[in-house]
């Protein structure tokens, strides 16, 4: 049977397209060979290798009914709860290739696009349903990796205005936010800035849209489209890449799994008409996420990945406590149980999403959004405490390690480290060193701090995640419960008064 699966080599070759990535003032056109990105690219390549391995086809692929070909499960449009379970297990397989540290893997934004293709008629008013479906088929058959940028840059005010007597209040709208500046029969031209594109430097294409509500008058900003990452006029401005200054001993996680975040700058970029999904419609731009299964399915991936990540963190923390000899202390055991409580609760919430699928008018299903948004709000708000417990349990041991791996090249420092670490030979000492550095890279390094911020805010700040919960929660159910009890007590009281 023919398949539409890319190999690791295919993926890495596809990145060598001349895209413009800036790290500071340095222009990088090949992320597969640059010290800032090559290991992360290799890690994503390992995902493609896992998905395309014939031994895994039953758990990483499906047969597409339109073509009869095998495709990545990323692109499966689910019709049943069993399909959702397949997707969730697939997301966990992908996450296990990085311990859940790669968040925006090839199964995330492509899942959003798949969700939009499940209910493409939403795009009929102010958009192009055929373009949405054709694009889903294009990325499905090409097994492409998408990133997305779905927010404008923050409004800004000069510091001098604030410090020189300027009034506070609502920040001004950023005049550099990306917008449509021209249109003709062949397409549109966009200009300006979009944020924040996680994994964009590693992706094949960028999906651009709006996940935040726009205001009347923002119609020029209400466009959704997709483009190859190497499109002329598109620049990716990367944050500091942690990989550039890491290695497998001192910062082993940052060295391999830093997916990087980028700001996108569009300099009069032309978008072909067939690549435009919404245009000049504020309502449809937002409906692309909220009125299709896109947001629900993409966050099923996010939660499955978080489950893998927190399970990895718990297992690593347990291992460290065993190595440093604290695992038998009752207080330590209790903290580990509290971490296990988070992992167990998250697992149950995820399975609850697929146990009661939500039916869409098109006949496709998504995970239950009431449970989804409860999971989203709870997990993001509780994660900082989970991460703090890991820091508490590893204690000061990361700071008892030598400054860098060169300590193992000097007999004097080797002897000192063997004595301080309690190891008897240099190989065991190196393993001990690497384990402690790995734990710190998960819990306290700059890489770890970025991950803490990511888990707290990738779905939005608390008022946003709580807002999703409030809109999806069945308030009628709890109102009826309260009304029933009030009525019962009242009727009994009236009867007693006779």
The reply to whether 489 falls in a domain is no
Domain that includes residue 156, residue range:
8-290
Mark whether 43 and 161 lie in a shared domain.
yes
Query: Which of the listed residues 241, 273, 290 is the one where a domain comes to its end?
Result: 290
Mark whether 205 and 257 lie in a shared domain.
yes
The reply to whether 494 falls in a domain is no
Mean pLDDT within 367-377 = 98
Mark whether 282 and 349 lie in a shared domain.
no
Mark whether 468 and 376 lie in a shared domain.
yes
Mark whether 275 and 368 lie in a shared domain.
no
Mean pLDDT within 99-126 = 98
Confidence tier at 292 by pLDDT (50, 70, 90): very high
Q: Which CATH number do you get for residue 229?
A: 2.40.110.10
The reply to whether 498 falls in a domain is no
Q: Which CATH number do you get for residue 431?
A: 1.20.140.10
Express each pLDDT in 429-484 by its tens digit: 889 999 999 999 999 999 999 999 999 999 999 999 999 999 999 999 999 999 99
The reply to whether 3 falls in a domain is no
The reply to whether 496 falls in a domain is no
Express each pLDDT in 303-330 by its tens digit: 999 999 999 999 999 999 999 999 999 9
Mark whether 286 and 299 lie in a shared domain.
no
Mark whether 82 and 107 lie in a shared domain.
yes
Q: Are 216 and 400 contacting, i.e. CB atoms less than 8 angstroms apart?
A: no
The pLDDT, as a whole number, for residue 280 is 96
Express each pLDDT in 397-430 by its tens digit: 999 999 888 888 889 888 888 888 888 888 898 8
- Residue 157: pLDDT over 60: no
The reply to whether 486 falls in a domain is no
The whole-model pTM stands at 0.94
The reply to whether 189 falls in a domain is yes
Mark whether 340 and 267 lie in a shared domain.
no
Confidence tier at 159 by pLDDT (50, 70, 90): very low
Mark whether 253 and 323 lie in a shared domain.
no
Give percent above pLDDT 90 in the chain: 86
Mark whether 322 and 244 lie in a shared domain.
no
The reply to whether 77 falls in a domain is yes
Express each pLDDT in 61-72 by its tens digit: 999 999 999 999
Mark whether 299 and 283 lie in a shared domain.
no
Express each pLDDT in 238-272 by its tens digit: 999 999 999 999 999 999 999 999 999 999 999 99
Mark whether 28 and 104 lie in a shared domain.
yes
- Residue 295: pLDDT over 80: yes
In order of 6, 36, 92, the CA distances from 58 in angstroms are 16, 35, 14
Number of structural domains found in the chain: 2
């Amino acid at each position: 049977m023919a398949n539409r699966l890319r190999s690791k080599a295919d993926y890495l070759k596809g990145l060598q397209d001349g895209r413009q990535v800036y790290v500071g003032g340095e222009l990088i056109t090949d992320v597969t060979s640059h010290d800032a990105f090559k290991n992360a690219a290799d890690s994503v390549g390992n995902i493609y290798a896992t998905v395309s391995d014939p031994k895994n086809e039953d758990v990483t692929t499906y047969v597409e009914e339109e073509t009869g070909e095998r495709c990545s499960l990323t692109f499966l449009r689910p019709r049943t709860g069993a399909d959702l379970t397949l997707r969730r297990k697939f997301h966990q397989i992908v996450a296990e290739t990085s311990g859940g540290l790669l968040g925006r893997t090839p199964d995330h934004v492509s899942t959003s696009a798949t969700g939009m293709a499940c209910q493409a008629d939403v795009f009929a008013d102010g958009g192009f349903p055929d373009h949405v479906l054709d694009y889903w088929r294009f990325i499905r058959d090409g097994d492409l990796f998408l990133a997305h940028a779905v927010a404008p840059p923050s409004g800004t005010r000069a510091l001098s205005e604030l410090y020189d007597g300027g009034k506070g209040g609502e920040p001004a709208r950023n005049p550099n936010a990306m917008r449509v500046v021209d249109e003709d029969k062949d397409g549109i031209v966009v200009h300006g800035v979009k944020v924040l594109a996680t994994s964009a430097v590693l992706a094949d294409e960028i999906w651009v849209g709006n996940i935040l509500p726009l205001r009347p008058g923002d119609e020029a900003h209400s466009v959704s489209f997709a483009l190859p990452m190497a499109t002329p006029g598109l620049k990716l401005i990367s944050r500091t890449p942690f990989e550039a200054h890491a290695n497998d001993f001192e910062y082993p996680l940052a060295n391999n799994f830093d997916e990087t975040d980028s700001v996108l700058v569009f300099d009069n970029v032309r978008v072909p008409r067939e690549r435009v999904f919404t245009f000049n419609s504020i309502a449809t731009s937002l409906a692309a996420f909220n009125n299709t299964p896109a947001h629900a399915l993409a966050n099923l991936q996010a939660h499955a990945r978080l489950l893998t990540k927190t399970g990895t963190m718990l297992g690593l923390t347990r291992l460290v406590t065993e190595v440093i000899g604290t695992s038998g202390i009752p207080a330590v055991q209790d903290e580990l149980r509290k971490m296990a409580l988070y992992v167990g609760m998250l697992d149950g919430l995820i399975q609850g999403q697929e146990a009661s699928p939500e039916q869409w008018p098109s006949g496709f299903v998504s995970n239950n959004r009431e449970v989804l948004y409860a999971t989203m709000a709870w997990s993001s708000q509780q994660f900082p405490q989970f991460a703090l417990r890991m820091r508490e349990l590893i204690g000061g041991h990361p700071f008892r390690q030598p400054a860098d791996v060169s300590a193992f090249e000097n007999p004097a420092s080797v002897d000192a480290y063997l004595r301080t670490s309690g190891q008897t030979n240099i190989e065991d000492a190196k393993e001990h060193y690497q384990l402690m550095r790995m734990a710190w890279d998960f819990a306290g390094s700059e890489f770890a701090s970025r991950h803490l911020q990511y888990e707290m805010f990738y779905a939005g700040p608390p008022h946003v995640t709580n807002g999703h919960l409030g809109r999806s929660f069945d308030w009628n159910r709890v109102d009826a419960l309260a009304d029933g009890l009030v009525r019962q007590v009242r009727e009994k009281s009236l009867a007693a008064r006779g």
